[in-house]
Structure formats: C-alpha cells, structure tokens
Structure 1
Amino acid sequence: MSSLLHEVLVLLFRNRPDLAPELLRRVFKVELPPFAEVRIASADLSEAVPREQRADLIILLVDGKPVLAIVLEIQLSRDPDKLTSWPGYLVGARARYNCPVYLLVLCTDEAVARWCAKPIELGHPGFVLRPLVLGPNAVPIVTEPEQAAAMPELSVLSAIAHGKGEHGFAIAVAALAAAQGLDVERATLYDDLVLFWLNEAARSKLEEFMERGRYEYQSEIVRRHVAQGRVEGRVEGRVEGRAEGRAEGRAEGRAEAKAQDVLTVLDARGLPVSQELRQRILGCSDLAMLDCWLRRSVVIANSEELLHDH
C-alpha cells in the first residue's frame, strides 16, 4: 500500500505540476510571483550539493527564468534522516536555480504530518527550516463538479485524503465526472485510484449505478498492487456480502436506498431539488426506473431533467 500511495502521489503532481503552486496559494496563503509556465525539473541535486540528494519532485515556476522552485516530498512515515536531507534539498535547489525555494511535504497521516512540521534548527542564528506540511486534514475537500473538472488531480488527491470519510461519495462523484474529460490512460488510472481509496458504503453505491457489480481495476499501477491478493480479497468479500444482503432484503428497502442514492448524487453535484421532485423520487418503488434515474443524475445539468426521457 505504501509503495502504491507514494507512487501515485508523485504521479499526480508530475501529471499536473501546477497543483503544487495551487496548494501553496490555497492552503498556505503563499503569495506567488508572476510566472508564465510551470515545469518539472530534475530532482537530482547531487551536482549542486556534494552528496547524493534526490527529492521526490522539483517543480519550477518560470517567467523567462526560474522565479520559484518547489521541492515536493511525499512522507508516509517518520524518517529522522529527512531532518538532514530536507535542508540539503533547499540549498541545492537554491544553488542550481538561483531563485526562492519552498519545501512542500505531503503526508497522509496526521501524526506524521505533525512530526514533519517541527522546525529544523540548522545552528546559524535565524536559520530555521519550517517545512510546509500538507496533512490529510488540510487537503481541500472537492465535491463541486466544476472545481474537479478544472483540476482533476486535486479531486483525486481529495479522494485519497478523504475517501474513507463522510464526504467520500460526493468526492468520488465529482472526481469520476472530471476524469471523463481526460485521455483514456489518465481517466482509467484516476477512476481506479478514486475507487481504491473510497469507503465501503460509497463504493457500493458507485458500483451499483456504474452497473459493474464488482469494479475491475484497469490501470497497471493499481492492478500491480492489487495482484498481491490482499486488497482484491477484501473487495470480493464485501461484494459477496452485499449480494447476499440484497437477496435477503426486501424490495421496498432496496427501492428506498436507491432513491436516497439519487438524491445524494444530485445534492453532491449542487443541483437544487424541488419538494415535488423529492417526493416523486422517494415514492418510486420501480427498481429499474430508480437505476435509470441514478445513472442519469450523474450527467444531467438540471435536476428537472431527471424525469425526462432522452
């Protein structure tokens, strides 16, 4: 799991390097200098510092020349060696690009984030490194489809950080809708990642209206890690349990649950629902019709379109 998480987090920033300055601006209120483009730079800083130094990623803001460098580090556990290497990364990047440098540390565990955020005293008066640490609680919760479409990688990061919580379903709906506008390779990977880190209840709802029964991972990265059997075994067990529950449950209960799912999707997408429409949805006992409405709720522009035939 750790290897997969580290790999995909780096990949998100590599696919969209402007995600790093956006997080600096949004979360840490950093005033960014004017820039014309954002580039991925070599993460090997051994030429600038006389020992091997390799950060996870270095992102440059460029306006004719580098105006800001962001050293990105994915930190999933405590590592005392980073108290030495992180200052070296900043010194190396400063020497190479001759511009201001920020250290952005991304953690998926709050305890690790608190450890990483501790000041690093370098000895010289006033020379103290205070890493900018983005823990899971600081990652924006992206549930608005427009925001997710503008930066799909941020919506995937939101799913990784918050997919197990109460906002998991709304985040997933927005992220999966945003992925539809991407190339096939990225869309497939992002779909897998969102489903992989989703809580069980939300995943069950998504699998049902996606008409897949059990979601099969398509991207090589996720399939490689699922192939070990641990994750896939848990998923299969959950699906079998849901199948048994549906066989034993009453049709009335299934209809009520699906009706609530329709309303949840509409609410997650920010589409107002009139009282009349809400009553119509909750009063429907036709499972096939509810399935149709559930799929339609993901793509319509206005909630009143839900009942219209296309």
Structure 2
Amino acid sequence: MVSSPHEAMHRIFQEYPALFTSVAEALGVPFGTLVAVTPLPTDLTETRPLERRLDTLLRFETEEEGEFLLAVEAQSKRDPAKPASWAYYLSYLYNKYGQHPVLLVVCQDRATAEWASQPVHFGPPQWASLILRPLVAGPHNMPVITQETEARKDPLLATLAAITHADNPDVGAILKAVSSALGTLPEKLSIPLAELVSQGLGKRPVSEQWRNLMAVDTSFYTSWISEEIREEGREQGREEGHHRGLAQALLLVLEGRGIAVSEQQRERITACEDSEQLNQWTRRAITAESTAEVLGQDAPDEEPSSEEDRH
C-alpha cells in the first residue's frame, strides 16, 4: 500500500519539476539551466503480464545538456530487489525514448538513503557490465532549513527538505520556518506545498505540530487539512455546547427544588466535561437534599453491597 509520505516524496516533482534544479545543486550535480519539462507516462509494463511502474517520470530540457529523463522513486526502507528494478527502469527508458535517464531516489530514513546511495555492480567480479548509481536525496544530504529567510529563498527545496527531515530532532524548527515562509507566498503555491508537507509527515506525532502551525493562520491554507482543522474545532464546539447544556439543566433542577449552590459548586458543575458524570449528578439532584450530596459519593446502588465487598 502506498503511504502518504511516499506520495509526497515524489509527487512534489510532478507538481514542481523545477525543484530538481535546486536538488541537483544541493547534491553537487548541476544539470544546467532548465528550459522545458514534459511529464511522461510512468507505466513501464511490457507485453508480458508483469506491471512495472515508476513513481514519477519527467523529461527535462536544459540549455547546456539538452534533453534527459528524470525518474523519481520514493523509498522508505531497504529492498534488495529494488536495484534490479531500477536498472531495468533505466534501460527500458533509454531504449524507449532514446534519451539518457537519471534516477533520483528520495528517502526519509538515513540508513535507507545511505543504502540507496551505494553503487550496484551488475556482472561478475571480473567485469561489471552495468553500474547503477542513483542520485539520492535524504536526511543525510538535504539542507536543514530552520530560518524563515532561508526557506523563503527556495520554498520548493525547503518543502522537500522538511519532508526528508521528518524524523530529525529539530523538525519542529524546520516546520516553523517552512510555515512562516509559506505564509508569505501566493495561495496557488502555499496551499499545495503545505499539503505536501502534511502528506510527507504522515502519521508521525510531529504532524500534530504542523497542524497547529497551520491553525495559527489558515487564511492562506484552505485545503482539506485546514478544513479538517476547522471541522475539529466545530466538533469541539458542539461537544462543549453539549456539556454546557447538561450543566445548565442540572443547575435548573437544583434551583427548581430550592437547593442552594455555592460558587465553588457552580464552578465544578460548569467546568465538568464528562457527559455521563453530569447526567449522573442530574439524576441525583431529583431526590438529593443538598448540592454536596449531588456532587458527593456515588449513588447507593453503585456502592458495595456488603462489608466484605468494601475490602
């Protein structure tokens, strides 16, 4: 099953192909000035009933190097079978399009990134007929951007860096910098980038921190995440309204029976957020002689029935 972080790590290149220019420079392998990009089909299935599919495939055109293909693969863990698949992808792409392919592997785990970075030799020890050398972007080489000014310089790279550093101890500062930077961008860019960060974080605990950062100012963030945040707020409001209604009903019962309620007791009732507790107090209020009795021990039928049960 494809995970959300998996999708985010390669889909960002589908949405913003120019990001590869920044990534390549960060990796120390510049590819020249980008002229044009063309999305290509990712299905590499042959006539045999064996499906092979890349995560993302793009055709790049540069002023200096001409055209080349970029295959982007998101990798979440070591997979001994992957190098053979990647080698097949590259050979197939070169055969199909007649253009040189480049494989970029994006990881969130340092160990996986370092594994993917190792060249793989295909052939006997005496002579490798094929050597696989992927470019790898991961927590081992992506910049740690914790300043808004740096994030604003290249928000695409900052977004990918935040995704690849999802498990970094300083991810809180990274997310804060990205959030602040996105708040200064046009909605057509800030919204999808914010979604990609959320998707890239997946179900990690830090995703809650990102949601909180988004909740501070959702004016530029009107996507499904912000709507989810607002819905949670509405749900919380409905829940709080329900509790207030139960508390008011209890106070009305006490008032109707002429039972005095001190300020401290009133605060305890109105502060209660347990619906079952409020209902229990209300049932007691029908026959109780004082508010202390209502808020005191459990009803008699809930108390131990014998001396033995009390011990």
- Tell me the CA shift for residue 75 of structure 1: 0.7
Q: Given that residues 61 and 68 in structure 1 are in contact (C-alpha distance below 8 angstroms), is that contact kept between their aligned partners in structure 2?
A: yes
Q: Tell me, yes or no, if structure 1 residue 187 matches structure 2 residue 190.
A: yes
- Tell me the CA shift for residue 158 of structure 1: 1.9
Aligned length: 223
Which aligned pairs between 1:228-243 and structure 2 lie closer than 5 A?
A: none
Aligned residue in 2 for 1:127: 130
Aligned residue in 2 for 1:218: 224
For residues 115 and 148 of structure 1, the distance between their equivalents in structure 2, rounded to whole angstroms, comes to 28
Aligned residue in 2 for 1:140: 143
For residues 50 and 217 of structure 1, the distance between their equivalents in structure 2, rounded to whole angstroms, comes to 39
Q: Given that residues 58 and 69 in structure 2 are in contact (C-alpha distance below 8 angstroms), is that contact kept between their aligned partners in structure 1?
A: yes
Which aligned pairs between 1:161-180 and structure 2 lie closer than 5 A?
A: 161-180=164-183
Aligned letter for 2:58? I
Deviations 1:251-307 (A, max 9, x none): xxxxxxxxxxxxxxxxxxxxxxxxxxxxxxxxxxxxxxxxxxxxxxxxxxxxxxxxx
Q: Tell me, yes or no, if structure 1 residue 108 matches structure 2 residue 114.
A: no
- Tell me the CA shift for residue 203 of structure 1: 5.4
Q: Given that residues 49 and 92 in structure 1 are in contact (C-alpha distance below 8 angstroms), is that contact kept between their aligned partners in structure 2?
A: no
* SS in structure 2 of the partner of residue 136 of structure 1: coil
- Tell me the CA shift for residue 108 of structure 1: 1.0
Unaligned runs of 5+ in 1: 227-232, 234-310
- Tell me the CA shift for residue 7 of structure 1: 1.6
For residues 198 and 57 of structure 2, the distance between their equivalents in structure 1, rounded to whole angstroms, comes to 28
Q: Given that residues 158 and 178 in structure 2 are in contact (C-alpha distance below 8 angstroms), is that contact kept between their aligned partners in structure 1?
A: yes
For residues 211 and 132 of structure 1, the distance between their equivalents in structure 2, rounded to whole angstroms, comes to 36
CA 1:95–1:21: 2 relative to 1, 3 Å = farther
Aligned letter for 1:29? G
Aligned residue in 2 for 1:295: none
Q: Given that residues 163 and 169 in structure 1 are in contact (C-alpha distance below 8 angstroms), is that contact kept between their aligned partners in structure 2?
A: no
Q: Given that residues 142 and 154 in structure 1 are in contact (C-alpha distance below 8 angstroms), is that contact kept between their aligned partners in structure 2?
A: no
Deviations 1:218-264 (A, max 9, x none): 349x96xx9xxxxxx9xxxxxxxxxxxxxxxxxxxxxxxxxxxxxxx
CA 1:199–1:63: 2 relative to 1, 3 Å = closer
TM-score, normalised with respect to structure 2 = 0.57
Unaligned runs of 5+ in 2: 233-311
- Tell me the CA shift for residue 173 of structure 1: 3.1
Aligned residue in 2 for 1:32: 31
Structure of greater relative contact order (alpha carbons < 8 Å, 6+ residues apart): 2
Q: Given that residues 179 and 213 in structure 2 are in contact (C-alpha distance below 8 angstroms), is that contact kept between their aligned partners in structure 1?
A: no
Q: What is the percentage of aligned positions where both structures have the same residue? A: 28
Deviations 1:130-151 (A, max 9, x none): 2222222212222343543343
CA 1:57–1:163: 2 relative to 1, 3 Å = closer
User: Which structure: larger Rg?
Assistant: 2
TM-score, normalised with respect to structure 1 = 0.57
Deviations 1:36-78 (A, max 9, x none): 1233222223469996432111122215996221211101122
Give the RMSD, CA atoms, in angstroms. 4.1
For residues 211 and 11 of structure 1, the distance between their equivalents in structure 2, rounded to whole angstroms, comes to 23
For residues 203 and 104 of structure 1, the distance between their equivalents in structure 2, rounded to whole angstroms, comes to 27
Q: Tell me, yes or no, if structure 1 residue 154 matches structure 2 residue 157.
A: yes
* SS in structure 1 of the partner of residue 190 of structure 2: helix
- Tell me the CA shift for residue 90 of structure 1: 0.7
Aligned letter for 2:106? L
Q: Given that residues 66 and 97 in structure 1 are in contact (C-alpha distance below 8 angstroms), is that contact kept between their aligned partners in structure 2?
A: no
